[in-house]
Amino acid sequence: MIHTNLKKKFSYFILAFLLLAVICVWKKGSYEALKLQAKEFQVPKSLEKLAMGSGLQSRSASSQQDPKQDSQILSHLRVTAKVKPQPSYQVWDKDSSSKNLNPRLQKILKNYLNMNKYKVSYKGPGPGVKFSAETLRCHLRDHVNVSMVETTDFPFNTTEWKGYLPKENFRTKAGPWHRCAVVSSAGALKSSQLGREIDNHDAVLRFNGAPIANFQQDVGSKTTIRLMNSQLITTEKHFLKNTLYNEGILIVWDPSLYHADIPNWYRKPDYNFFETYKSYRRLFPNQPFYMLRPQMPWELWDIIQEISSDWIQPNPPSSGMLGIIIMMTLCDQVDVYEFIPSKRKTDVCYYHQSFFDNACTMGAYHPLLFEKNMVKHLNEGTDEDIYLFGKATLSGFRNIRC
């Protein structure tokens, strides 16, 4: 459809061009005049679209058009109009809205809004506040406090908890790093061959039980931080036994009610993971294992809501989004893999499981769609990197000027 539309535009352009040429010759105008008029004519935009069409077309096997002929015309036009065609890649639209969700996911979103399980009472200036990417980055830096529960926080300062939390501050243990990678668990990582590139970063963050064994080629093998949700820790039978968890710095997070402080959260965690946490700490006391401050996910949620034009799920952000922000505080540059989907995107949820659900990309419980809009907005890499590698590149908070 796009293609025929472009062809139509293209032939209009050719007609107009010929008409101009005839007028010029008729007026005995010189070559200079022709060039001038061609410049004034609205060439660049239609040419750009033409280049886009041919770029897409060359990848499409079903195309009927002769690409050689097309490129000949194109190169001819390039000479006269001096517009460099650039290939264009269809990637995530940063202005996606809930209308882009299928009816099932729209209904789930509505249900979560009605349920408001975490008693969210948003008082910020949103929804729909517009920020430039630079301002948004500063806004995140200044309003999302990435820190961990500390030994001085009640009730973790009581005898019951003595010796369980790491003594060393998270920020002295983690980073600062230059180039970091955040590796999603998306099905699209399968057959990506990104392993070497991922391991080539100074630090790599992974999520939950995302495995490495048998997937090194696609996801790499280095783990510097593993961010886990409390559900995994409470329900994964092998959490204390699986050596997967013995590498790197561990962070667990658990959703609190919207306005809860640490004591309130402790009384009413979403998943009561505290005993398992203690067991793990007794088994592996030398491995750094932190608890994310429960306020942090909501500080981030507030900003996602502020910049989204729709009301978003009143549920905490995904581990993926939390991991990206954690790395932005520790690193100069963060490469995020398959959070914004590449050309490999399917409905397969995880690279290590054959489980299909569109919700894994678009979000049901987590406001995933809006998180992706935000990451796309912050992306400083190219659409080509997203399309081919699922890679978004974000500046960390360490070296930005606000």
Which residues make up the interface to ligand NAG (CB under 6 A)? 145, 147, 154, 157-158
CB of residue 373 vs ligand NAG: minimum separation in angstroms? Answer: 26
Contact 391, 336 (CB under 8 A): yes
The least distance separating ligand NAG from the CB of residue 156, rounded to whole angstroms, comes to: 8
Residue with tokens 């409470």: 234
Nearer to ligand NAG, 107 or 143 (CB): 143
Closer residue to ligand NAG (CB): 67 or 124: 124
CB of 301 to ligand NAG, least distance (A): 17
Q: Is 126 exposed, middle or buried (0-12, 13-18, 19+ CB in 10 A)?
A: middle
Nearest alpha carbon to residue 252 among 231, 281, 235, 279: 231
How would you classify residue 333: left for phi > 0, otherwise alpha for psi between -120 and 50, otherwise beta? beta
Nearer to ligand NAG, 112 or 266 (CB): 266
What's at 365, amino acid-wise?
Answer: Y
* Residue whose CB is less far from ligand NAG, 206 or 293: 293
Helices within 117-205 (DSSP H only): 133-143, 170-173, 195-199
Q: 229: which 2 tokens?
A: 């949700």
* CB of 121 or CB of 158, closer to ligand NAG: 158
The answer to whether the CB of 48 falls within 8 A of the CB of 80 is: no
Q: Give Cβ neighbours of residue 349 (< 8 Å, ≥ 6 apart).
A: 185, 186, 187, 355, 356, 357, 360
Nearer of residues 5 and 157 to ligand NAG, judged by Cβ: 157
Closest approach, Cβ 162 to ligand NAG, in A, equals: 9
Closest to ligand NAG by CB, 294 or 320: 294
Residue 209 or 294 having the CB closest to ligand NAG? 294
Indicate the DSSP class of residue 214. Answer: T
CB of 378 to ligand NAG, least distance (A): 20
The structure tokens listed for 277 are 């946490």
For residue 65, the minimal CB distance to ligand NAG (Å) is 57
- Give 18-56 as a DSSP string: HHHHHHHHHTT--HHHHHHHHHHSSHHHHHHHHHHHHHH
Q: How far is the CB of 126 from ligand NAG (least distance, A)?
A: 21
What's the closest the beta carbon of residue 374 comes to ligand NAG, in angstroms? 21
Q: Smallest gap, in angstroms, from Cβ of residue 150 to ligand NAG?
A: 7
Alpha helix stretches (DSSP H) within 159-237: 170-173, 195-199, 216-219, 230-235
Which residues, in sequence order, are CB contacts of 1 under 8 Å at separation 6+? none
Q: Can you tell me which residue has the tokens 């990197």?
A: 385
Q: Which is nearer to ligand NAG, 93 or 160 (CB)?
A: 160
